[in-house]
Structure 1
Amino acid sequence: MPRAPLVPIAAARPHKQLAQEKDNLIKLKTIGAVANIRTRRERPCDACRRRKSRCVIHEGAALCVLCEFHKQDCTFVQSPQPRKRKLDTGEKSNVVMKKRPAASDPPANSPQNSSTTAKISKPPRPVEQKDTSILAETLGLQRRRHCRYVGRTTALDPTLIGLTQFDMRNESTFDLGTLRKVNEHEYFTMYPDEDSQTYGDDADALNAVEQAVSPYGPALIDIYFRTIHPSFPIIQEQVFLDRLRNHDRNFNPPLLAGMYILALNWWAQDPKLASLPKPDSKKLEEIASRSLASAMQRPKLSTMQAGLLMLQRPDADSWSLTTQLIAVGQELGLHLDCSDWAIPVWERGLRKRIAWALYIQDKWSSLVHGRPSHIFAANWAVKPITDDDFAEDAPVTTRGVHKSEAEATETARGQTIFMQMISLTAIMAEVVDTFYTQSAIRDFDAAGPHATRLILERAKPVQIKLKDWFAALPHSTRMASSNLTDNTTTLLSPTGYLHLGYFATEITLHRRIIQSLRPASTDPYLLHICRAAAKTRLISAMDFVNRLRPEHLRAFWYSASKINFTLIGTFGSLLWATAPGQEEADFYRTRLLEYRWTLSVSSKRAGFLDYAVQMLDASRGMLANLAEKPSLAQKRVSSAGVPVSGSVASSGGGAAVGGLPRRNHRAMDSRDGYAPHLRTYTPGPGPAFEGFASELLDQYGEPEPHLISPITTHSSIDDGFE
């Protein structure tokens, strides 16, 4: 393909040659490094002019000495700054700016120009603090510029961009902005923040944020990195703390506000803060919401961090903000593989952590709101997170001291939980895609009476993945793992939200199976197997909630947790409503009352559980209209819906007893798609159903009988509360 001649990067030239060519260079429209060549021997570059420093360019260099040292653009496009002069009144403090006459300005001796200095034009905005080198080299965290991803189908074709000459910073200036190349195929356009309409409001917003929490800002930052950051590591801790110790005043206002808002949830647990007046979190939320909307106009990684933190509030409206953040993340290229990008190594890890946090947020928001996900596997190229993606340089605390061994252990534990949450979210997303998309719903509706068998067939692969995930959990993520420091001081344990997500995923799967059952047309034994497996999952989830201790309840819980607690109650209500007999319905009614009591007690340490209690009450109100169910006693079926002794033979044959045909339990398992861990029910002699054994409870301590009175259950959890 013929290509137009490119303007080359300036080569080494002696000063005499520069002097001879200066008139020609003035007339050129410079791009790339050509813009850095002096148009006049004595003229300093823009940066040296602002610093009032001597501008020195060595022969053959494209940048002056200072610009090369600070790793910044060396340009000659700005006009000289206005000079200042003293007034004749002798008052040293009264200084006016020299104003260049314009065509519309009145003459100097006109009456309009003889007024006081109040009518003289405003002085130019002061020069912002220059970037520190660690931020200046980044792609998504520069202070005065933001980036937008250049897609493959845009007007800027990647092949044409590849013909452009890039400088040593992998940047090239053209008429519409600055192009930055991160690898041979991916490009971003860099824009100055000044181009956005709301630029300049950050300083006021940042001051408002600091005033809202003053003088407790440092203490809240300490709470944030001690309590929230380990299991939600979307901030580069040491970069943030270094900037804080250096009195950097260029933090993103909504990010700082989001950190303060979340940390305020642990205000009463800090012995130094508990007795002091708590800052107004509502005021912080108002500031954060306004400044976040402004920050989205010039997207940066800090914008994503702020939005994700705001979504972790217990009362956050996650759906609309989540969809906005997905769009911002795609502008930043968070959906791409950045493993070989020409950016700092620590920024690669940070981008991956933010990207996967966004993935988790999208998938769980899709589940709890019942709406389509916005992230698809076909356009998701982010590599799995590894331990190297959490790397920090010389990790220290907010107090400037190195982290203790216990603190380092808790940080590593939180990172493992975060990685496991990513894996679990992928399985949960597969459950939703398999059973709850519009195409899946059409398939099941078209199957008619065979819908349950079709669902069971599709359930088996994802169910095996879920079981294998649980079996492979590292010991540090188990609920019963030790969480004591060397001084036997109890630390908060954030493992709760991970295991709650596991039960929510299981319930979401079994919920679809129960919804498909039709007592009039479903095979009786298949109906029995499906309801028995669902009952096992419900009891396991409720017992998990019963066993939560204060160190679990007081820890960080992911944003979807309040809905996940609610889903357990919703599943119990569904089993109550669809119970074939009154005895089974009474069983679920009792367990739901018991579950509500547990949540109401636990809400004293985890306030977001109040929402789950309210939703349980709403479900009970709907069940008030449920028709009375017939007794199953005459059908020789227990109150749990399971055949009593003698109704099913222990081996062989095909006789039917009590209306239930005798089947081979394991054969049904394999044929209908149930995973091995659902084979917990084994027909055999016995007076009545006494509950299901569950390997899921092994990690929580000695298993307790599942069918116990509410009083016994309440006393069993009293030891976990003060």
Structure 2
Amino acid sequence: MSESPKPKLSRPDRPCDSCRKRKSRCVFEDDSAICFLCKFHNFQCEFNLPPLQKKKKKNESTPTKPPKQSKVPVVTPTLHTYYLGGNNEFDGVIFKDLLPNPEIDLNPVGSRYVIKRKIRKQAGDLFLEVEGSIEDVEYDKQQIQKISEFVGDSGPGLVSLYFRFVHGTFPIISEKNFLENYKKDINLIDPCLLACLYLFALNWWSLSLDLSGLIQPSQSELEKIAETIFYKKLKTPTLSTIQAGLLLIQHQSFRDKYDNPSNCWPIQSALWGAAQCLGLNRDPCNYNIPEWQKSLRKRISWAIYVQEKWFCITVDKSSHINDDDWTVGDLDEFKDFTDSEVSANGGTNTLEGRIDESMGIKLFLEKIELSKLADVILKELCSLKSKQYFDNLEISDPVTQLKSILNKIKPLQIHLTNWESQLPKVLLIEQNIERGLISGAPNIYISNFSAQITILRPVLRLLSKIKNQQKVVDREFMGIRDIVFNRCIIIFENILRFVNELKAEHLQTFWYTSARVGFSYIVIFGYYLALISKNSTEYNKCIELLENYVWKLKINNKNAEFFSHSILWWSQLNKLLKNVGNHGYNFEEETLSEPEIMPPSVPSGNFLSPHLFNLDSIEDFIMNFHS
């Protein structure tokens, strides 16, 4: 008996509600109850809206009672909220203390604006709420459509990649809020944030099974779209603008064409200006907003702080963020990350190739603490006045000047040692990584090495200057120099142990902006050690360490393409070394043999231990030399 043919699905002869709103063609695949676009965007494919009335012909008479029309959804413009200082036209006493209402409608005399403006009080702070225009809403919808057409079917896969690889260690987005809006209506997402999120997620395209069979969108073309929207949004920023800017800078700082990281500094500067407009430098704990929004604001604020401080170190710029204009409280490991949890049903916690959530939170918090130390380093060693101090040091008395610099950097080393001693064990790179997980621990290590090298730079520069100018030195100076040199060799050997520990689970992680330059800092560090070497034995030791380090970067370069930046730096500096004479120090007692101070042995186990990074005090230098 032959099977009877399946009855065809009966559908209204009109587009579904979602396609009608989008003014899109409503296309059904064979035997599918959901149209193609609703299936792609995970929408409900419904036909609740009544059919559109056909246009009447001129000879048709108008009925006495028009049919009832369904309510058309009202387009809600974006509400922009800006922080008001209180020392300008919006005087704090007038608007905060004398006016009793928490909300004040505002229309200044001679204002060109016809949009709604309102002053709102928030826990002693004043904010100006400005309603966006309908034109801006239409612009956002057009850009969303443009972005969606550009990435095609890969959109959901890119979102999944982002929350698997980035969000765990860089939690600047509310995962729950974003995913709910993304599934409900993609137009609820800011186009600038969507473009930058897609752009950044493309870096992990090859690790997605869902995307492997699709054609990868052009990253450079998507970047142009993201840049255009971002620069337009900077005029009227929202939290989404700041989130997008953080990701855009993060992406561009790793691009090969940006060999000079200063190219991103103007964008970072503008981003901080926009953040100030939104009051992100202020503590929101007492604001009358939901708890998850308070936590999100704090996480975004600290993400800007982290990116700014390390940017300043890597591009040698002064930070815009200062303690006098910063009241954001510390993040709570449990309370301030609850909106990052997602349900197991369709969430990212069930996918392979993700970062452990608890580890990611600890890494973000430790990165913040290390960034606070970076702020102190910037003030003490990298400011214009500090650099002038070091440059103007008279080297007529080498021992005195060497001790002076060592005394200046000692508090920074103690600060760094105290931070290291409290580092959670989960962030140690030697820890085994469970199958299916990746580790962001290398971010902590490369930041630590960058901080250590930055602290030691003034010492290495002075030693190089004294040697290059052939200043006469005595045995006390050489004894201190030997201890400094040997301690630096230990640091370099620990760096080699670090790069030897790097696995694919480390290399495929999210890397903070400073990591790219941080690896090249190590090349600069090794170069300085070669410059201050006192004989061919030390010189050859430095070159051997450098070549071993660069070799490890080369064999891992496929999994971490930004290593090529450091490899090229070594290629350039290696040419310069050939032009540098390997002469020794001008020692005043040449007839006496110099004492050979052997470096202490490196203990096995955790090589990120405090005592390996803390140079001896001045008293220990002298004591060790005379003993």
- TM-score, length basis structure 1: 0.67
Cα deviation for residue 275 of structure 1 reads 4.2
- Of 233-242 and 336-345, more deviation after overlay is shown by 336-345
Match of 1:579 among 527, 533, 536: 533
Residues 395 and 260 of structure 1: CA distance in aligned 2, closer, same or farther (over 3 Å): same
Which residue matches 2:342? 395
- Of 382-391 and 531-540, more deviation after overlay is shown by 531-540
Residues 401 and 497 of structure 1: CA distance in aligned 2, closer, same or farther (over 3 Å): closer
Cα deviation for residue 396 of structure 1 reads 2.0
The structure with the largest helix share of the pair is: 2
CA contact (8 A) 1:323 1:374 kept: yes
Cα deviation for residue 630 of structure 1 reads 5.4
Check if 1:658 corresponds to 2:593. yes
CA contact (8 A) 2:402 2:459 kept: yes
Instruction: Show CA shifts across 1:592-626 (max 9, x none).
Output: 22222111111110111111111111111222211
Which residue matches 1:495? 441
Check if 1:223 corresponds to 2:166. no
Cα deviation for residue 367 of structure 1 reads 0.8
For 1:246 and 1:560, the matched residues in 2 are separated by: 36
Cα deviation for residue 441 of structure 1 reads 2.4
For 1:350 and 1:590, the matched residues in 2 are separated by: 47
Instruction: Show CA shifts across 1:197-228 (max 9, x none).
Output: 86642222211211121101111111111111
Match of 1:256 among 177, 191, 194: 194
Alignment of structure 1 residues 188-587 onto 2, 5 Å: 188-194=127-133, 200-313=138-251, 314-315=254-255, 317-387=263-333, 388-392=335-339, 395-396=342-343, 400=346, 403=349, 410-449=356-395, 450-484=400-434, 489-517=435-463, 518-519=466-467, 520=471, 523-587=477-541
For 2:354 and 2:556, the matched residues in 1 are separated by: 29
Match of 2:58 among 89, 93, 100: 89
State the one-letter code of the partner of 2:120: R
CA contact (8 A) 1:569 1:616 kept: yes
CA contact (8 A) 1:149 1:188 kept: yes
For 2:444 and 2:418, the matched residues in 1 are separated by: 15
For 1:525 and 1:320, the matched residues in 2 are separated by: 45
Match of 2:107 among 170, 175, 194: 175
Give SS of 2:320's match: coil
Structure 1 alignment gaps of length 5 or more:
1-83, 93-125, 131-142, 637-655, 661-681, 684-688, 702-722
Cα deviation for residue 410 of structure 1 reads 0.9
State the one-letter code of the partner of 1:148: Y
CA contact (8 A) 1:318 1:365 kept: no
Cα deviation for residue 277 of structure 1 reads 2.1
CA contact (8 A) 2:440 2:509 kept: yes
State the one-letter code of the partner of 2:420: F
For 1:699 and 1:318, the matched residues in 2 are separated by: 34
CA contact (8 A) 2:314 2:514 kept: yes
Instruction: Show CA shifts across 1:332-378 (max 9, x none).
Output: 11111111111111111001100010011111111111111111112
Check if 1:698 corresponds to 2:624. no
CA contact (8 A) 2:492 2:545 kept: no
Which residue matches 1:158? 92
Cα deviation for residue 271 of structure 1 reads 2.8
Residues 166 and 360 of structure 1: CA distance in aligned 2, closer, same or farther (over 3 Å): same
Select the structure of larger CA radius of gyration: 1
Alignment of structure 1 residues 49-68 onto 2, 5 Å: none
For 2:592 and 2:413, the matched residues in 1 are separated by: 31
For 1:521 and 1:498, the matched residues in 2 are separated by: 41
For 1:408 and 1:507, the matched residues in 2 are separated by: 31
For 1:568 and 1:697, the matched residues in 2 are separated by: 22
For 2:391 and 2:179, the matched residues in 1 are separated by: 56
RMSD: 3.0
For 1:406 and 1:284, the matched residues in 2 are separated by: 27
The aligned length equals 517
CA contact (8 A) 1:212 1:283 kept: no
Which residue matches 1:608? 562
Residues 188 and 696 of structure 1: CA distance in aligned 2, closer, same or farther (over 3 Å): farther
Alignment of structure 1 residues 602-681 onto 2, 5 Å: 602-629=556-583, 658-659=593-594
* Structure ranking higher on relative contact order (CA contacts 8 Å, 6+ apart): 2
CA contact (8 A) 2:412 2:455 kept: no
Cα deviation for residue 188 of structure 1 reads 0.9
State the one-letter code of the partner of 1:181: K
For 1:541 and 1:370, the matched residues in 2 are separated by: 23
Cα deviation for residue 273 of structure 1 reads 2.5
CA contact (8 A) 2:86 2:126 kept: no
Residues 293 and 412 of structure 1: CA distance in aligned 2, closer, same or farther (over 3 Å): same
Which residue matches 1:9? none
Give SS of 2:212's match: coil
Give SS of 1:189's match: strand
For 1:465 and 1:352, the matched residues in 2 are separated by: 25
Cα deviation for residue 700 of structure 1 reads 8.2
For 1:182 and 1:575, the matched residues in 2 are separated by: 54
Which residue matches 2:22? none
State the one-letter code of the partner of 1:152: G
Give SS of 1:481's match: coil
Cα deviation for residue 405 of structure 1 reads 11
Cα deviation for residue 692 of structure 1 reads 4.2
Residues 409 and 541 of structure 1: CA distance in aligned 2, closer, same or farther (over 3 Å): closer
Check if 1:590 corresponds to 2:544. yes
Residues 394 and 516 of structure 1: CA distance in aligned 2, closer, same or farther (over 3 Å): closer
State the one-letter code of the partner of 1:493: S
For 1:696 and 1:175, the matched residues in 2 are separated by: 70
Give SS of 1:149's match: strand
Cα deviation for residue 556 of structure 1 reads 1.1
CA contact (8 A) 1:435 1:455 kept: no
For 1:605 and 1:577, the matched residues in 2 are separated by: 32
For 1:175 and 1:85, the matched residues in 2 are separated by: 43
- TM-score, length basis structure 2: 0.77
Cα deviation for residue 416 of structure 1 reads 0.7
CA contact (8 A) 1:492 1:554 kept: yes
CA contact (8 A) 1:421 1:498 kept: yes
Alignment of structure 1 residues 122-161 onto 2, 5 Å: 129-130=75-76, 144-161=78-95
- Of 384-393 and 440-449, more deviation after overlay is shown by 440-449
Residues 556 and 542 of structure 1: CA distance in aligned 2, closer, same or farther (over 3 Å): same
The percent identity for this pair of structures is 25
CA contact (8 A) 2:103 2:119 kept: yes
Which residue matches 2:112? none
Give SS of 2:166's match: helix
Cα deviation for residue 657 of structure 1 reads 5.4
Give SS of 1:181's match: strand
CA contact (8 A) 1:444 1:451 kept: no
Give SS of 1:162's match: helix
